[in-house]
Structure 1
């Protein structure tokens, strides 16, 4: 094979590896379904409040339950979208890399804190976190990078921008410690404990796409009139089922270094 052919092949492989699957139609479909469910939830919640104010408590309760169902549906689709984009973007990542493109801020933080906890437990040297440059984020402001830096501050982890790529943060793991619950906290608990911050997806610096940026909800539980604990436990179980397959990839990354 000629030198030019080798160079072209290398460039093609590089482009394939850098491809951001948040531009995929499946990803957009899932996020779109989540957005639709959140809009329905908001409408039903407003109707419930109006019914309650008018004195029809039975209708208010019924509408509130329907709003709660739409919240569960939205969370399901968002977690499916997160699972899809994370798995696809990391399929060809090196063992010391993790690509957070396409994830909402809290999704990225939750996945990363578990990945860092696993890396420290397995005595990894460092972790390269692909956060992007924020070029195509709303107003050109990156959201994933400061969220990663926030996690590092919580655990006193040294981190710095890769001098070769400003869209990559390098986190030093050797000899570090993180909070004990980072390795075990489920997503539902993490989301309830972290209700601040944006939830926009981080996009890749190569090639904009037409995904509509909208303010995303905070994955909080809809207030309920009755059986709150029972319904919350059922929703947590659904979320746990959805994230189980997502964590399989994290375990695969860790096994590469063992």
Structure 2
């Protein structure tokens, strides 16, 4: 599935980025958009060539368009990994938290599925997923939250919208999503998602249930890649203990 070439808005970072960091992220996304425009132009001209019976030119333009598509995917991959590193640095989020700010919807889905599998394989009991409130999206509509909820349903995991609507609590053990008291967050500011807490709105199969008082997918392991190495930096192995602080 092709990644949509639209920015999620000005909230790509969960903190106040340096000018260099913001410029690098924008540079990579802009390069991807430029390659997408070239791809589309090639495919349009290829269609026109085919319509007038010039099969050779149509094939050449189609191949050129595929090369631009490959470059677009590569620039978007670099941007996705870059913003993931920036937003999930150990001084910005805790080990039981993943921040998806700045990701396109399909990117966020892939990252979340990998993180959930990784966390389950390493004995984590839950995960806080930061999706943002949609403040920077068109019409302030949350784009990431519905896809995160869909991933949870597909993996058979119950989830709850935290008091801060920009965060989702996921029970990785398959039980009810009853959120324990949140640990102390790092001192860095988290933009529009805040630190959350309080009474979450529970979901099972995507249907809201009553609020409750605060309390405490198996798939073959993929070969390690760059994203897996990034994920491993933010999740500590806890030995024989299964509880994540």
Q: Residues 14 and 192 of structure 2 are in contact (CA less than 8 Å); yes or no, is this contact kept in structure 1?
A: no
- Tell me which residue corresponds to 1:19: 15
1:246 shift after superposition:
2.3
- Tell me which residue corresponds to 2:150: 150
Could you give the per-residue CA deviations for residues 106-139 of structure 1, whole angstroms, max 9, x where no partner exists? 1001010111111112221110011100011111
Match of 1:247 among 228, 234, 243: 228
Task: Spell out the pairing of 1:106-185 with structure 2 (5 A cutoff).
Answer: 106-163=106-163, 165-175=164-174
Structure 1 runs (4+) deviating above 4 angstroms are 20-23
| Partner-residue secondary structure (3-state), 2:225 | helix
Partners of 1:146 and 1:139 lie apart in 2 by: 15
Could you give the per-residue CA deviations for residues 125-160 of structure 1, whole angstroms, max 9, x where no partner exists? 110011100011111100111110001111221111
- Tell me which residue corresponds to 1:85: 83
Q: What residue ranges of structure 1 are gaps of 5+ in the alignment?
A: 1-16, 177-203, 207-239
Q: Residues 20 and 101 of structure 1 are in contact (CA less than 8 Å); yes or no, is this contact kept in structure 2?
A: no
Call closer, same or farther: CA 1:161–1:142 in 2, change over 3 Å. same
Partners of 1:101 and 1:40 lie apart in 2 by: 27
1:30 shift after superposition:
0.5
Q: Residues 130 and 169 of structure 1 are in contact (CA less than 8 Å); yes or no, is this contact kept in structure 2?
A: yes
Q: Residues 132 and 167 of structure 1 are in contact (CA less than 8 Å); yes or no, is this contact kept in structure 2?
A: yes
Match of 1:205 among 166, 178, 192: 192
Q: What residue ranges of structure 2 are gaps of 5+ in the alignment?
A: 1-12, 176-190, 194-221, 240-245
- Tell me which residue corresponds to 1:97: 97
1:18 shift after superposition:
4.0
Match of 1:59 among 41, 57, 60: 57
Call closer, same or farther: CA 1:109–1:20 in 2, change over 3 Å. farther
**TM-score normalised by structure 1 residue count:** 0.65
**TM-score normalised by structure 2 residue count:** 0.68
Partners of 1:130 and 1:137 lie apart in 2 by: 15
